[in-house]
Structures are given as structure tokens and as C-alpha cells.
């Protein structure tokens, strides 16, 4: 499939999912809830004022963050208009929600102290563009906190990417690829981010933290 076909599948999938995304009928999307405590714990390690949630969905993560940190400014970005519609209907103070593509973040340079991305970047056909864009919008010293699926061995990773994901696509899902530690490290290096942490946590989960250097040439 080409880039447009992948994104069209994701739009179709998540337009349908928006109505049930945070309900007991969420199905496979319930697994996303397992990421929230680890992201919250990571954010507690350092102060922040501005945060971008890439692939924010209906804003479950921003809702939790607002409860804990009501004085911060939050921005949610999602490719699916229906997801953003549901997120905006929550009327979260200090939060704005934007329809847009995470491969080309529509924000100014040095805008955010933190960028989070949970169970989203395996949908991006041009994933390096996402990492490059994150580096651009992060403030110097800012962090990317990344959660997504992974596999424990290279053989399992190969099977998932070459056999399982094509079958998932036939079922109407817009998955592109899942990544291992070497992949994420290379993506970060190419973007000019410094990967500080990569761990496999729980069932097939990656938890990664990358930082934009404090002193970036030209900034």
C-alpha cells in the first residue's frame, strides 16, 4: 500500500472507533489504558508547562493530565476529525485540539516542553518525518515520551511486520510497522534527538524517552 492508502485506512478505522474509544465497548483499544500510568510517571520526573499529545484520539491522556496538572497548557493532534470532535466536546480548560498529520506537526519551532505519543506512531508511513517534526517543535531540553507495541525478538518483529500486519490491514486497520530498540535509536539519531531510555514493559510494549539537546546549532 502507498502512504495515502495507509492513512485512509486509519481514518476509516478511527472514525468508527471514536464513539466507543473510552467506553467498555472499546475492544482492542482498551489496551491503550495500560500506557497512561507510565506516561504520567515519566512526566512527574521533570516540570513542564506545554505538552503536545500526538495521535491524541478522544483525549483520554490529556483528560488525566488536566486532573493532575490543571494549570498546564495541552495540545492534542489527531488525523481523524471525529476523534478531535469528541475531544473538543470535553471542554478541557487550557487545552486545544487540532486535526492534523503527525508526520508534519503544524506548530512553531520550540513550542513544547514535552511531546507524548501513545500507540500511534506504528500507523505513520513516513515515521522519520514524525521524529524530525518532533525535534523541531520541542524546546531545547524537551522530551519525547513514546509508547507503542514492540516484540521481544527480531524474529517475532519480522513475523509481525511481514505476516501479521498485512493480515490486519486486510481487516481494515491502518497499521504500518512496529519497531525495536535499534529502529527507534536510529530514528532519534537521524532527527537529532538523544534517546535516553528504551525499555520493554509488560506485554509487547516499548517505553522510550528521547531528548532534544539543550544547545542545538542555529536555535
Q: Give the residue extent of every domain in the chain.
A: 3-211
**pLDDT-wise least confident of 7-21, 61-75, 93-107, 187-201:** 7-21
What do you get for the CA distance between the two ends of the chain, in Å? 38
| Alpha-carbon span 6 to 103, nearest angstrom | 13
**pLDDT-wise least confident of 24-28, 105-109, 195-199:** 24-28
Q: What's the pTM value of the predicted model, to 2 decimals? A: 0.93
Contact 53, 76 (CB under 8 A): yes
∠ at Cα 156 (38, 79), nearest 5°? 55
∠ at Cα 218 (216, 219), nearest 5°? 60
Note the pLDDT tens digit of each residue in 88-105: 999 999 999 999 999 999
CATH, range 3-211 = 3.40.50.150
Nearest to 168 by CA among 103, 121, 100, 122: 122
The yes-or-no verdict on residue 218 having pLDDT over 50 is no
Mean confidence (pLDDT) of the chain: 91
The yes-or-no verdict on residue 25 having pLDDT over 70 is no
Q: Residue 202: its pLDDT value, please?
A: 79
pLDDT grade for 31, boundaries at 50, 70 and 90? low
Amino acid at each position: 500500500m502507498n502512504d495515502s492508502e495507509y492513512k485512509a485506512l486509519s481514518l476509516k478505522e478511527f472514525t468508527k472507533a471514536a464513539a466507543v474509544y473510552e467506553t467498555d465497548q472499546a475492544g482492542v483499544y482498551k489496551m491503550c489504558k495500560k500506557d497512561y500510568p507510565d506516561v504520567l510517571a515519566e512526566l512527574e520526573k521533570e516540570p513542564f508547562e506545554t505538552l503536545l499529545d500526538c495521535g491524541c484520539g478522544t483525549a483520554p491522556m490529556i483528560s488525566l493530565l488536566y486532573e493532575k496538572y490543571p494549570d498546564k497548557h495541552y495540545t492534542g493532534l489527531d488525523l481523524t476529525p471525529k476523534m478531535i470532535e469528541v475531544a473538543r466536546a470535553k471542554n478541557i480548560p487550557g487545552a486545544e485540539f487540532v486535526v492534523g498529520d503527525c508526520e508534519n506537526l503544524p506548530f512553531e519551532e520550540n513550542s513544547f516542553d514535552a511531546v507524548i505519543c501513545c500507540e500511534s506512531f506504528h500507523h505513520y508511513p513516513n515515521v522519520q518525518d514524525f521524529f524530525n517534526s518532533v525535534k523541531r517543535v520541542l524546546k531545547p531540553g524537551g522530551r519525547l515520551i513514546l509508547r507503542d507495541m514492540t516484540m521481544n525478538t527480531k524474529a517475532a518483529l519480522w513475523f509481525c511486520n511481514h505476516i501479521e500486519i498485512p493480515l490486519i490491514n486486510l481487516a481494515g486497520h491502518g497499521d504500518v510497522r512496529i519497531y525495536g530498540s535499534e529502529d527507534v535509536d536510529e530514528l532519534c539519531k537521524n532527527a537529532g534527538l538523544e534517546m535516553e531510555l528504551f525499555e520493554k514493559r509488560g506485554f509487547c510494549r516499548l517505553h522510550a524517552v528521547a531528548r532534544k539537546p539543550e544547545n542545538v546549532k542555529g536555535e
